[in-house]
């Protein structure tokens, strides 16, 4: 069965973590939501490098 769960498309900017909803707009910031079936984060995520740097620093 296909998932109806959607995720806020602007969560990178508006929230600390993905906001999941069944609605077509984010209940929190009102942004459009996207189907969550594809990866909830973008492989070209501009924060990816920052996250990796953070991981290194925590070692």
Where do contacts with Zn ion occur on this chain (CB under 5 A)?
8, 14, 19, 26, 28-29, 31
Q: Where are the beta strands (DSSP E) in the chain?
A: 6-8, 20-21, 33-35
Q: Which is nearer to Zn ion, 27 or 48 (CB)?
A: 27
Q: Which is nearer to Zn ion, 4 or 31 (CB)?
A: 31
Question: By C-alpha distance, which of 12, 21, 16 is closest to 47?
Answer: 12
CB of 7 to Zn ion, least distance (A): 9
Q: Which is nearer to Zn ion, 17 or 59 (CB)?
A: 17
CB of 51 to Zn ion, least distance (A): 20
Q: 8 to each of 1, 41, 48, 49, 54, how far by Cα in Å?
A: 21, 11, 19, 22, 25
């Amino acid at each position: 069965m296909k998932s109806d769960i959607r995720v806020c498309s602007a969560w990178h900017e508006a929230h600390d973590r993905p906001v999941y909803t069944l609605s077509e707009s984010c209940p929190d910031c009102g942004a459009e939501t996207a189907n969550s079936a594809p990866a909830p984060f973008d492989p070209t995520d501009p924060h990816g490098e920052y996250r990796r740097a953070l991981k290194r620093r925590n070692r």
